Amino acid sequence: MRPRSVSEIVRILAARVTQALPGLALAAAFALPGASRAVGQIPAPARSRDAIVVGADWLQATALPLDRNTMQSSAADVDWRRGNWSLSAGWLRIARTLSTVEGGTVSAGRLVHAGRVLLVPTVSVLGGSSYESRDTTGYDWTNGQGATGHVPRYSYSNAATIGGGVGLTVEVPVYRWIGVRAMGSEWAFSGKPVSEDRARAVAGVGLSLRVR
């Protein structure tokens, strides 16, 4: 028989290995535990954390009682979450007994997952208005029996304001796409009406709803 060249030997071995592969794969499928179930299966893709979440919060916890008949501190936002980051736009109102700051907000945050709990530290800016009532022309009185009192007379001022804040939101899902959350933040604002009280801390609770 004619001696075979190296290239012929390689072709023959490649053909025999190719013919044997289906049988080896079938044997492995029966020999390895659970392998037969894995044949032809494609791993499920990782669940995406991309989402749009709307939320609303009551934020008067740090300034009660509010001795004023008005809407209390609150916030609402739409949050776009992608990967480990979030970007939100919303509205914020911070009410105090004699002043109010409110306006539109833009926030950026980091999504930190701890089991079922989601932590979202944020940095935010606000553009809006500030209002203040001040007892500037009130007077004290005393009657003939020696009783005393004070009659307040308020002056009102308002101006545009820009503010910045940092905060933390803790969110927990409770039913499918619905979650509860607690949040706190510290703000500072510009503008003459809040010149004597620029810093405002807020804390409260709210609900979140995942819409996508």
Q: Is the pLDDT of residue 145 over 50?
A: yes
How many other CB atoms are there within 10 angstroms of residue 133's CB atom? 17
Whole-model pTM? Answer: 0.71
Q: Is 98 found in the same domain as 24? A: no
Whichever domain contains 124, its CATH number is 2.40.160.20
- Segments forming the whole domain that contains residue 133: 51-210
CB crowding 179-198: b at 16 or more within 10 Å, else e: bebebbbebebebebbeeee
Q: List the one residue out of 23, 48, 89, 55 whose CA is nearest residue 169.
A: 55
- What's the pLDDT at 121? 98
CA distance 91 to 3: 87
Q: Residues 11-49: pLDDT tens digits?
A: 554 455 445 444 444 443 444 444 334 434 434 334 446
CA distance 81 to 212: 10
Q: Is 21 found in the same domain as 80? A: no
Average pLDDT, the chain: 82
Structural domain tally of the chain?
2
- What's the pLDDT at 195? 86
127 falls within a domain:
yes
Q: Is 56 found in the same domain as 129? A: yes
- Lowest-pLDDT choice from 14-23, 42-51, 122-131, 148-157: 14-23
Per DSSP, 193 falls in state: G
CA distance 182 to 192: 31
Q: Is 139 found in the same domain as 165? A: yes
Q: Residues 193-208: pLDDT tens digits?
A: 888 889 999 999 999 9
160 falls within a domain:
yes
- Lowest-pLDDT choice from 3-12, 34-43, 125-134: 34-43
43 falls within a domain:
no
Band of the pLDDT at 67, cuts 50, 70, 90? confident
